[in-house]
């Protein structure tokens, strides 16, 4: 019988995960189906019980439930617990176990699409929201010794650093300070939501002092190239948009569910084509 997987969220219509995961199941000859479930907030707990009762084998979690789902799970992976967000759930011995594959997905995209020695870079993370936290904690867990953080609200960056369970040195700075010393960094990671709205099309900071040998990564993939990435490219930097993080978080979930690694080129082509 086909195994059943899915993604829960609200709204869920625009999720590209069903396309990507169903194609990977087909490509790898795995008899499984991945369905988008739109869940209303008042039914979140009921939905999880129902999914277990119906024999769902695992699921992804997207906006707005990455934190809200946590009390309804049986167990939490320590990284997901530290980040405070779950995006991948696996049924293990009849228990829902929550993982975070967003941060590890970003780290894998650096490793696979850029360079294997990514830990040696002078790194700046821009932003201190949920996505920044997932990336910062995952990089620290993988042994990056130092990651500086800049954010509009300094206290938020300070509390992100203070709650990190893995050893990592960090200077905390505001946007203006980061702009002034941008030339020091060889890896700059943009995690704020500013570039997401094509009508506003803004960037969190000026790249005037960015090094032309820097690597600039944005977690946004729609628009395909944010103002931040365009300006970084024009400065001569190598760039990466959020497609890498998206496909690798999906690949890590797929591996946890099936024990099989999906074809990453195929995933990337599919998602890129869907984005037009
Ligand atoms: P998510 O959890 O999806 O990462 P979030 O918690 O709202 O989203 O965090 C968004 C990030 O974008 C934060 O770092 C936020 O800065 P603040 O902590 O100061 O709010 C940043 N951000 C959003 N809009 C911004 C803006 N107009 N200028 C500067 N930073 C902005």
The number of folded domains in the chain is 2
Can you read off the two tokens belonging to residue 265?
């080129």
CA–CA gap between residue 146 and residue 7 (Å, rounded): 34
State ipTM: 0.96
CA distances from 64 to 150, 191, 268 (A): 25, 17, 25
Residue 276, pLDDT score:
85
CA–CA gap between residue 123 and residue 148 (Å, rounded): 6
Is 120 found in the same domain as 208? Answer: yes
Is 119 found in the same domain as 71? Answer: no
Is 90 exceeded by the pLDDT of residue 133?
Answer: yes
* Per-residue pLDDT reduced to its tens digit, 9-32: 999 999 999 999 999 999 999 999
CATH number, domain with residue 231? 3.40.50.720
Is 227 found in the same domain as 115? Answer: yes
Which segments of 145-259 are extended strands (E)?
147-150, 172-173, 187-190, 215-218, 238-240
Is 96 found in the same domain as 21? Answer: yes
CATH number, domain with residue 271? 3.40.50.10860
Instruction: Mark whether 122 is an active-site residue.
Output: no
Is 90 exceeded by the pLDDT of residue 200?
Answer: no
Is 90 exceeded by the pLDDT of residue 175?
Answer: yes
Is 236 found in the same domain as 266? Answer: no
Residue 263, pLDDT score:
98
192 Cα: distance to centroid of ligand 1 (angstroms) = 5
Q: Which atom of ligand 1 is nearest to the CA of 132?
A: 4
Is 253 found in the same domain as 150? Answer: no
Is 193 found in the same domain as 120? Answer: yes
3 pLDDT tier (thresholds 50, 70, 90): very high
Is 215 found in the same domain as 168? Answer: yes
Q: How many CA atoms lie within 13 A of 129 on its CB side?
A: 11
Is 217 found in the same domain as 158? Answer: yes
Is 116 found in the same domain as 218? Answer: yes
Enclosing domain of residue 171: 104-241
17 Cα: distance to centroid of ligand 1 (angstroms) = 24
* Per-residue pLDDT reduced to its tens digit, 63-120: 999 999 999 999 999 999 999 999 999 999 999 999 999 999 999 999 999 999 999 9
* Per-residue pLDDT reduced to its tens digit, 234-268: 999 999 999 999 999 999 999 999 999 999 999 99
Is 235 found in the same domain as 252? Answer: no
Residue 108, pLDDT score:
98
Can you read off the two tokens belonging to residue 135?
């990336």
Model-wide pTM > 0.95: yes
Is 236 found in the same domain as 269? Answer: no
Least confident interval from 35-49, 107-121, 188-202, 260-274: 188-202
| Ligand 1 mutation target, pool 127, 130, 150, most atoms within 8 A of CB | 127
């Amino acid at each position: 019988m086909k195994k059943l997987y899915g993604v829960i969220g609200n709204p869920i219509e625009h999720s590209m995960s069903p396309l990507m995961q169903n194609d990977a199941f087909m490509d790898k000859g795995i008899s499984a189906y991945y369905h988008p479930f739109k869940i209303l907030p008042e039914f979140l707990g009921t939905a999880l019980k129902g999914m277990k009762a119906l024999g769902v084998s695992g699921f992804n979690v997207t906006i707005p439930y990455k934190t809200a789902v946590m009390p309804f799970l049986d167990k939490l992976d320590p990284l997901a617990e530290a980040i405070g967000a779950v995006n991948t759930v696996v049924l293990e011995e009849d228990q829902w176990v929550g993982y975070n594959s967003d941060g590890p997905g970003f780290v894998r995209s650096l490793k696979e699409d850029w360079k294997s020695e990514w830990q040696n870079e002078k790194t700046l993370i821009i932003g201190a929201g949920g996505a920044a936290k997932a990336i910062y904690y995952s990089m620290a867990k993988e042994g990056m010794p130092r990651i500086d953080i800049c954010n509009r609200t300094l206290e938020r960056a300070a509390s992100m650093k203070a709650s990190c369970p893995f050893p990592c040195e960090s200077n905390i700075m505001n946007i203006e300070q980061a702009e002034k010393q941008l030339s020091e960094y060889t890896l700059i990671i943009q995690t704020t939501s500013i570039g997401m709205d094509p009508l506003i099309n803004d960037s969190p900071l000026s790249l005037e002092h960015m090094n032309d040998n820097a690597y600039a990564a944005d977690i946004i993939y729609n628009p395909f190239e944010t103002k931040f990435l365009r300006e970084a490219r024009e400065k001569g930097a190598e760039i990466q948009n959020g497609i890498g993080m998206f496909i690798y978080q999906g690949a890590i979930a797929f591996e946890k569910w099936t024990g099989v690694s999906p074809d990453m080129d195929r995933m990337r082509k599919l998602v890129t084509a869907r984005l037009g």
